[in-house]
Structure 1
């Protein structure tokens, strides 16, 4: 199939369409660029030329190669001209009605063997193909922004998509220097589905006034190893774009509460505070973002006299218990353990997010802080919040990944690859769960579900199965 694709048509000349067109032309294809606004096509080609100029200036591309790439672009203002394409990649409006009408038209004008694909990030490929003649040639080909740079491409099969078409698209993606992952058409596919908890748990913490935005972001960035905090990332993406994807996934899953949109984010969108592109979002991008106020070093007058491990995840420092979070609040633990308690939320970094029981004597909490600082941890204290910030978010991401795996959306390998390459997670979520321990993740989610009384935190069946297997191996 790949050898037969000489001419590629790209519909839509926005950021994604122009990026995809650049990728195709850079790998030797003649590229038809179509947009209902003819001026937008010329602007897209001009922007591609500027990016190529930058590569030439940096010694990444020769001047001759630049001219050859630009010569492969053919601006198109009449959609009938796309009949010459062997592969069509649609990167237009994220509206099902628009896509259905467009693909029905493409099916009329293109040859039966022309492969028709959509760059949609969350709309059902099955629905797009429903009214298309020869729907077996319709698939999703989801690039990530910026398309010339990002390696990941989700190859999405609808109900009717031919396996040969999906195979061919994967081979083409490899030839274009990309890493394809295969998945079935389901809301959000892999990345936009599994990534939802990264955002939603941050919005919930903000709504419940657990911590300031900069603390929430620092916890996930510096403590969880994510490249950027979730709130800052939504400002970079655009609050309107991120909110729209969340709403799309939420509604496509019949209002499943795991994907519940945030009222705080909705308020930002309604106010036009869309993030960096509008100047304000969660943060004011016109000035310096507020810095995290890490706790000052505690005086050595609180130097602990006795430190001992009570059991896994529990350390006794004089009269206070440090408990690694398992989804319970510090106050509930203090009541059941009849002791001052400080709950600790940390992973591999040098950040410890803590919550102290309200009944703690001040000196007990200070001893716990001093102990953590002596271990080289930067400590920040937040409200007494079950599961805290890092473990709670990671557990929800892993749970969502396992749910997608169990329901046949994609393979374990492709899910992990997609999340590492598509959103730069420090670890694939399934591999992450294996490392962190299925039993602890299950316990944390069960405690969260018990605390809130919500289905949102329901552990998926596959997580329960893996936790049982883990306990069997240990015994």
Structure 2
């Protein structure tokens, strides 16, 4: 089924930020658009705001002035739901309440023509449940835009049990015709993005609860080492702690309280205290005028160790060698060591984290001077690296490892010795959730990676990242985390299959 013809009217119900954004997208694509809101005057004000926004974009030559003028002229407020009777597609963007959404579509079904398609912009409520009371639920599908809708390209096209193939395909093709990048998803809790993204928030919040590092340092590590656009603390402050906590709780309960989705006590404390983030002036950070910007905690400068040996040809070992040689540091290169060490700097023995704490690894290897490093998205360009030392590690070894990394041009972030560290722990859980999502038929492997890059600006799709690290490594990290913490970190069946077969989860 092809995209809707631009001459077909689009109705948008809910004139808040999201609804107004969707209306702007449809109008820019050439459709006449009717915008409705139960609150008096809100639709008119939203249309006026869209007009100002489009005029500014045209003045800055970001869009064509004639196209902007046509889009503004195509927008009209609807005084009541009956005014939407001539629309060929209605998109609902109202409060996240199953009862309210279901009642709305039951009313709309009796107003519009039998050929009119119905779409919900819900981010987490099952499409099947919303359409359960409809006479013809086959014409209802999810059309989940991301905020701000005019700018972010992703749209999740979500099929409930009764959504017809033609409905889903038409919504997909229409979103593509509107200049968006749609992906198909089955209606399960959180769809793709809100499900797969949970570990990004959840692991960061658990690290805070374990006092591994502070909020500013956590965000800095995930930006500078993991390549994420924002850290979990600043991002949840932007989203709203209450909103993010509600989604986390919704997904957790919908998955029958699976441990990996368990909400955070740290976040709930912020919500209970009214510290909702930017909108309340305070969350993890203080947004009041004149408030200090918190800096990450970095290690003090240490001297470069005298004796340095790098082992093997892993990406981190290779990058450290190139960085140190460029800085004129004398070092030795050696074949891969049997215990997997990356470097030896004076008495310090340096490893990449494998999910065990430094204390456990030192015990298992009988190597007290064990120092662990975290995963880096790109060791060649990273600006910092987290470091953790075991409880019995001599201070001289910590100093030597720190000096080695600083000589390679890296800021060192000392963190408390917790299993899996920061980036490795987060990425392993993202890979695991993405693999499980694909194995359950929610979406394809290509679409899960596409959705996470386009919807939440991840530097790599989780499955692509997993292929880069290797399924065996991801599985080993998760297994060690499971030993330390429990079944929250249980490797999913799809990941285990990839490990045992040696066949990576397909990335198109």
TM-score, structure 2 normalization: 0.90
Deviations 1:144-171 (CA, angstroms, capped at 9, x unpaired): 1111111110000000111111111111
Structure 1 residue 350 displacement after superposition: 3.1
Structure 1 residue 70 displacement after superposition: 1.6
1:2 equivalenced with 2:8 (yes/no): no
2:150, 2:429 → 1: CA distance?
A: 31
CA contact (8 A) 1:2 1:171 kept: yes
Query: Which residue of 310, 325, 341 corresponds with 2:337?
Result: 310
2:11, 2:148 → 1: CA distance?
A: 19
TM-score, structure 1 normalization: 0.96
CA contact (8 A) 2:449 2:464 kept: yes
Q: Which runs of 5+ in 1 are unaligned?
A: none
CA contact (8 A) 2:4 2:170 kept: no
Deviates more, 1:172-181 or 1:329-338: 329-338
Structure 1 residue 414 displacement after superposition: 0.7
Query: What SS class does the counterpart of residue 435 from structure 2 fall into?
Result: helix
Alignment of 1:377-456 (within 5 A): 377-452=410-485, 454-456=486-488
2:363, 2:66 → 1: CA distance?
A: 74
CA contact (8 A) 1:170 1:180 kept: yes
Structure number having the greater helix percentage: 1
Instruction: Identify the residue that residue 355 of structure 2 maps to in structure 1.
Output: 327
Query: What SS class does the counterpart of residue 109 from structure 1 fall into?
Result: coil
Q: Which runs of 5+ in 2 are unaligned?
A: 312-335
Instruction: Identify the residue that residue 129 of structure 1 maps to in structure 2.
Output: 131
Instruction: Identify the residue that residue 147 of structure 1 maps to in structure 2.
Output: 149
Structure 1 residue 447 displacement after superposition: 0.3
Query: Which residue of 29, 32, 50 corresponds with 1:30?
Result: 32
CA contact (8 A) 2:341 2:349 kept: no
Structure 1 residue 64 displacement after superposition: 3.7
Query: What SS class does the counterpart of residue 2 from structure 1 fall into?
Result: coil
1:390, 1:307 → 2: CA distance?
A: 22
Instruction: Identify the residue that residue 70 of structure 2 maps to in structure 1.
Output: 68
Deviations 1:255-279 (CA, angstroms, capped at 9, x unpaired): 1111111111111112211111111
1:471, 1:74 → 2: CA distance?
A: 54
The number of residue pairs the alignment matches comes to: 470
Instruction: Identify the residue that residue 493 of structure 2 maps to in structure 1.
Output: 461
2:413, 2:449 → 1: CA distance?
A: 30
Structure 1 residue 471 displacement after superposition: 8.3
Query: What SS class does the counterpart of residue 291 from structure 1 fall into?
Result: coil
1:189, 1:447 → 2: CA distance?
A: 29
User: Residues 285 and 345 of structure 1: is their aligned pair in 2 closer, same or farther, counting only changes over 3 Å?
Assistant: same
Query: What SS class does the counterpart of residue 41 from structure 2 fall into?
Result: helix
1:290, 1:159 → 2: CA distance?
A: 48
Structure 1 residue 177 displacement after superposition: 0.4
CA contact (8 A) 1:154 1:180 kept: yes
Deviates more, 1:107-116 or 1:145-154: 107-116
2:243, 2:500 → 1: CA distance?
A: 40
User: Residues 376 and 346 of structure 1: is their aligned pair in 2 closer, same or farther, counting only changes over 3 Å?
Assistant: farther
Instruction: Identify the residue that residue 283 of structure 1 maps to in structure 2.
Output: 285
CA contact (8 A) 1:439 1:471 kept: no
1:373 equivalenced with 2:413 (yes/no): no
2:294, 2:75 → 1: CA distance?
A: 45
Query: Which residue of 207, 210, 214 corresponds with 1:208?
Result: 210
Instruction: Identify the residue that residue 343 of structure 1 maps to in structure 2.
Output: 372
1:109, 1:24 → 2: CA distance?
A: 21
1:323, 1:64 → 2: CA distance?
A: 60
Query: What SS class does the counterpart of residue 84 from structure 1 fall into?
Result: coil
Structure 1 residue 371 displacement after superposition: 1.6
CA contact (8 A) 1:307 1:318 kept: no
CA contact (8 A) 1:125 1:139 kept: yes
